[in-house]
Amino acid sequence: MATLQFWKPGTTGPGSTLDRANETDDSVISSAPTTSLSIQAARERLPIHKYRQNLLYCIEKYGVVIVVGQTGCGKTTQLPQYLYEAGWASEGNIIACTQPRRVAATSVAGRVASEVGTIIGDEVGYTIRFEDVSDKERTHILYMTDGILFRETLVDPLLSRFSVIMIDEAHERSVYTDLLLGILKKIRRKRPSLRIIVSSATLDAMSFVDYFSSGGLENEVTVASLEGRMYPVEIAHLEQPTPDYVKTAADTVWNINLQQSRGDILVFLTGREEIDRCLEKLAERLPNLPRNASPLKLFALHAGLSIQEQLSVFEPAEPGTRKVIVSTNIAEASVTIDGIKYVVDSGFVKVRTYNPTTSLSSLVTVPISLASAIQRAGRAGRTMSGICYRLYTSSNLKSLSPTTQPEITRTDLTTVILQLKSLGVDDLMKFEWVTSPPAESVLRALEGLVASGMVDEDGRLTVVGEKVAECPVEVNLARMLFASKDYKCGDEILTIAAMTTVQDVFIIPDGSAGALAELERRKFTAEEGDHLTLLNVYNAFVRYGRSSSWCKSHALSFRALSRAISIRSQLKKYMQRFDLPTESCQGDAKRLRQCLVSGYWRNGARWVADGTYRSVRGNTVLHVHPNSVLFTRKPRSGWVIFHEMEETKKTQIRILTEIEPDWLLDYGHKFYPKHGGS
């Protein structure tokens, strides 16, 4: 096995920003296991505790408090509790804390509920999309995703049930965090009693201060800096760059297990495929594990898993075994997985980017920012001192951009603009953006909204647009739900919308088991493509009693399908609210495909003779994802629409359905040149 050229931990290289952590006097803290302490005593030992009075004073006196502190010092779990104890949730008020990710909202709420001594969903609750574990009367501390809180402004523009809103992990600059900051600034002018807390990593704090101090609010903003980190983290960089960080990650995990003392391992890679590859490499080697080494318990953590699967990584490993969690960026912020002592950081992240010229969104793997590198390393020092192995050199570190580029600058703004308009923000130029999105992206989104009849020529929301804005799914899916009335296929479109919202329905392992799974999948294949195949899977699952053993024998994910059922029933409520019929198309696949085009018309592609496709807009070369039923077959018409696109080494499209090219013209007439003089 290749030995790794790491600098010895402790002799950290230049530029390693966590060096300082080693110098702080944490010896007293790190020697005592927290588990032996009462909850109250453990809370009082967190670095944030000594700032309790000061923080409460700041929040009393200032409208906006920017809180800066090292990861693990207690912001997310403690601040809402301090506010609660100080009476900010009296008179039925709620203290909200937003998270960019669902798993963070869920797991933190669980932790805080146990600290408060209540069951989750009572005094402490959480709300994420399609899941509300809170009580209207009794919940006082509410963790929620930023997207959900933003949605709430559509119904309650002043967010009147909240006394304090904490925007956590603001430095991640997710789209909804940015939108919320803009809305909150507006709300504060109308409702000065509302308190806003923005918690951020150090490097980004000043941009939030500047943002909130402009426009007459100069004296309302203050910064609270919390010194102190729980446990020291040592950093090691690679001496030479690695050509294959997935393999190096697996090697590193293996070596840690052989050479380092007890403690679990958290690995950061970019996506499910890399995670599976890394876990396979480790699994293959497990039989060769020396007898005296700890057995490894392997976990994946990514957004494609159900919340229950995601939460399973939080369960402690059996004594004597070592837990290895291979994760996407999802574990970078907010979550504390007990027992993590070692972090392995690939230095890369997959982000969704949007190309306004082609109107196509795709997933691209890019180097992380310095702020992210610090966050990732911080995951190792949460419950004990730790070591972070960076799979890049220290000179690579210096070339990283300091902070993460705000998502709003690289995303498809269709849904965002629709929702802003629905909030009455008609003049997008006047909205106080933390960072303005590129004009071209705004323009493309507006064009798309006009073309699909959701915004009129004067830029105002139409009746359909208003309704679509309320639906908790992407605009393209919502658009299809509404169009299903005309195509008389509401029943099927509901299922397809739910099935494309969950990921990884098929479980196709590599090797011979994979070939068998592949055969199972063929049983559901619809020749029209993947959307109808997903529909077949769903219908069969329901018909055969929704059982997990049935799923197992057909290489399907029981969890994913169960989630699809729950999402479908929630979307159905929206359909009923908007008086949309949920009738079946009775097997008329043509109508169904036409309805799909009403949502996916921007994602049209044409087959070319070498087996690849060209996007209708931009003429980009597209490869079919191997999981598609159209992977090896030319569509009869030569044309498809696709659900999403991902850029790895090449650009791949997933979830395809054959269409007739003329159907695209019904929606894209503003964009596509008309055929032969028609």
Which residues contact ligand CDP by CB under 6 A?
46, 69, 71-78, 107, 111, 230, 336, 338, 382-383
Closest approach, Cβ 315 to ligand CDP, in A, equals 12
Residue 74 or 125: the one with the smaller Cβ distance to ligand CDP is 74
User: With CB cut-offs between 5 and 8 Å by kind, which of ligand CDP, Mg ion, none does residue 507 bind?
Assistant: none
The Cα 382–Cα 385 span in angstroms is: 8
Cα 263–chain centre separation:
27
Residue 230 or 502: the one with the smaller Cβ distance to ligand CDP is 230
Strands 264-268 and 94-99: unpaired
Residues with Cβ within 8 Å of 395's Cβ and at least 6 positions away in sequence, in order, are none
Closest approach, Cβ 78 to ligand CDP, in A, equals 6
User: With CB cut-offs between 5 and 8 Å by kind, which of Mg ion, ligand CDP, none does residue 72 bind?
Assistant: ligand CDP
The Cα 16–Cα 196 span in angstroms is: 33
Closest approach, Cβ 650 to Mg ion, in A, equals 37
Closest approach, Cβ 13 to ligand CDP, in A, equals 25
For helices 245-259 and 272-285, give the axis angle rounded to 10 degrees: 40
Three-state DSSP class for 49?
helix
What's the Cα-to-Cα distance from 609 to each of 612, 629, 633, 635, rounded to whole Å?
Answer: 7, 18, 11, 11
Closest approach, Cβ 465 to Mg ion, in A, equals 36
The CB-nearest residue to Mg ion is 76
User: With CB cut-offs between 5 and 8 Å by kind, which of Mg ion, ligand CDP, none does residue 74 bind?
Assistant: ligand CDP
Query: DSSP string of 238-295?
Result: BSS--S-HHHHHHHHHHHHHHHS-S-EEEEE-SSHHHHHHHHHHHHHHGGG--TTSPP
User: With CB cut-offs between 5 and 8 Å by kind, which of Mg ion, ligand CDP, none does residue 571 bind?
Assistant: none
Residue 45 or 281: the one with the smaller Cβ distance to ligand CDP is 45
Closest approach, Cβ 230 to ligand CDP, in A, equals 5
Which span sits near Mg ion by CB under 5 A: 75-83, 94-102, 272-280, 308-316? 75-83
Closest approach, Cβ 222 to ligand CDP, in A, equals 18
User: With CB cut-offs between 5 and 8 Å by kind, which of Mg ion, ligand CDP, none does residue 77 bind?
Assistant: ligand CDP
Contact positions with Mg ion (CB under 5 A) in 198-257 = none
Closest approach, Cβ 43 to ligand CDP, in A, equals 8
User: With CB cut-offs between 5 and 8 Å by kind, which of Mg ion, ligand CDP, none does residue 347 bind?
Assistant: none
Residue 72 or 347: the one with the smaller Cβ distance to ligand CDP is 72
Residue 107 or 353: the one with the smaller Cβ distance to ligand CDP is 107
The Cα 45–Cα 115 span in angstroms is: 14
The Cα 122–Cα 111 span in angstroms is: 13
Residue 383 or 419: the one with the smaller Cβ distance to ligand CDP is 383
Residue 313 or 571: the one with the smaller Cβ distance to ligand CDP is 313
Which span sits near Mg ion by CB under 5 A: 17-25, 71-79, 201-209, 416-424? 71-79
Asked whether the beta carbons of 78 and 197 are under 8 A apart, the reply is no
User: With CB cut-offs between 5 and 8 Å by kind, which of ligand CDP, Mg ion, none does residue 382 bind?
Assistant: ligand CDP
User: With CB cut-offs between 5 and 8 Å by kind, which of ligand CDP, Mg ion, none does residue 149 bind?
Assistant: none
Closest approach, Cβ 333 to ligand CDP, in A, equals 8
Residue 622, φ and ψ in degrees, nearest 5? -120, 135
Q: Residues 70, 76, 200, 404: which binds Mg ion (CB under 5 A)? A: 76
Residues with Cβ within 8 Å of 100's Cβ and at least 6 positions away in sequence, in order, are 145, 146, 169, 172, 174, 176, 177, 333, 334
Which span sits near Mg ion by CB under 5 A: 9-17, 31-39, 332-340, 485-493? 332-340
With tokens 């005094």, the residue in question is 123
Residue 78 or 484: the one with the smaller Cβ distance to ligand CDP is 78
Residues with Cβ within 8 Å of 27's Cβ and at least 6 positions away in sequence, in order, are none
User: With CB cut-offs between 5 and 8 Å by kind, which of ligand CDP, Mg ion, none does residue 271 bind?
Assistant: none
Residue 72 or 147: the one with the smaller Cβ distance to ligand CDP is 72
Residue 334 or 385: the one with the smaller Cβ distance to Mg ion is 334
Residue 369 or 657: the one with the smaller Cβ distance to ligand CDP is 369
For helices 414-422 and 175-190, give the axis angle rounded to 10 degrees: 20
Three-state DSSP class for 545?
coil
The Cα 331–Cα 350 span in angstroms is: 13
Residue 74 or 356: the one with the smaller Cβ distance to ligand CDP is 74
Closest approach, Cβ 107 to ligand CDP, in A, equals 6
Query: DSSP string of 71-132?
Result: TTSSHHHHHHHHHHHTTTTGGG-EEEEEESSHHHHHHHHHHHHHHHTS-BTTTEEEEETTEE
Look up residue 404 and give its two tokens. 């993460």
Closest approach, Cβ 234 to Mg ion, in A, equals 22
Counting residues that bind Mg ion (by CB under 5 A) gives 3
Closest approach, Cβ 574 to Mg ion, in A, equals 33
* Cα–Cα nearest to 97, from 85, 108, 111, 86: 108
Residue 26 or 658: the one with the smaller Cβ distance to ligand CDP is 26
For helices 175-190 and 205-213, give the axis angle rounded to 10 degrees: 30
Residue 382 or 390: the one with the smaller Cβ distance to Mg ion is 382
Closest approach, Cβ 203 to ligand CDP, in A, equals 15
Residue 76 or 651: the one with the smaller Cβ distance to Mg ion is 76
User: With CB cut-offs between 5 and 8 Å by kind, which of Mg ion, ligand CDP, none does residue 559 bind?
Assistant: none
Closest approach, Cβ 229 to ligand CDP, in A, equals 9
Q: Say if residue 549 is exposed, middle or buried (CB neighbours under 10 Å; 0-12, 13-18, 19+).
A: exposed
User: With CB cut-offs between 5 and 8 Å by kind, which of ligand CDP, Mg ion, none does residue 594 bind?
Assistant: none
Closest approach, Cβ 496 to ligand CDP, in A, equals 37
The Cα 646–Cα 122 span in angstroms is: 41
The Cα 513–Cα 289 span in angstroms is: 24
Rg of the chain, C-alpha, whole Å? 25
User: With CB cut-offs between 5 and 8 Å by kind, which of ligand CDP, Mg ion, none does residue 336 bind?
Assistant: ligand CDP
Which span sits near Mg ion by CB under 5 A: 116-124, 313-321, 334-342, 351-359? 334-342
* Cα–Cα nearest to 175, from 475, 405, 348: 405
User: With CB cut-offs between 5 and 8 Å by kind, which of Mg ion, ligand CDP, none does residue 78 bind?
Assistant: ligand CDP
Which span sits near Mg ion by CB under 5 A: 262-270, 331-339, 424-432, 639-647? 331-339
Asked whether the beta carbons of 158 and 187 are under 8 A apart, the reply is yes
With tokens 């992240």, the residue in question is 349
Please, which residues bridge with residue 444 across strands?
A: none
Cα 443–chain centre separation:
26
Binding footprint of Mg ion on the chain (CB under 5 A): 75-76, 334
